[in-house]
Amino acid sequence: MTSKKQLLFAYGLAIHLLLIGIICYAAFPAKAPDEPIRIMYQTNAGKVLFDHHTHTAASGYGATCFDCHHHPSDDDSALIACGECHQAPAEDGSKPERCLDCHDESDIEDTEIVSRADAFHQQCTECHEQFGKGPQSGSENCSKCHVL
Binding site for other proteins (CB under 8 A): 1-3, 6-7, 9-11, 13-18, 20-25, 28, 30-33, 36-40, 42, 47, 49, 51, 53-54, 143-144, 147
Residue 89 sits at the vertex; the CA angle it makes with 84 and 92, to the nearest 5 degrees, is: 115
CA distance 89 to 113: 8
State the minimum distance, in angstroms, from the CB of residue 134 to other proteins. Answer: 12
The residue among 55, 19, 27 whose CA lies nearest residue 39 is: 55
How many CB atoms are closer than 10 A to CB 29?
Answer: 7
Shorter beta-carbon distance to other proteins: residue 33 or 132: 33
Shorter beta-carbon distance to other proteins: residue 15 or 102: 15
State the minimum distance, in angstroms, from the CB of residue 103 to other proteins. Answer: 31
Shorter beta-carbon distance to other proteins: residue 46 or 89: 46
State the minimum distance, in angstroms, from the CB of residue 2 to other proteins. Answer: 3
CA distance 9 to 15: 10
State the minimum distance, in angstroms, from the CB of residue 57 to other proteins. Answer: 11
Query: CA dihedral defined by 135, 136, 137, 142, rounded to 10 degrees?
Result: -30
Shorter beta-carbon distance to other proteins: residue 13 or 100: 13
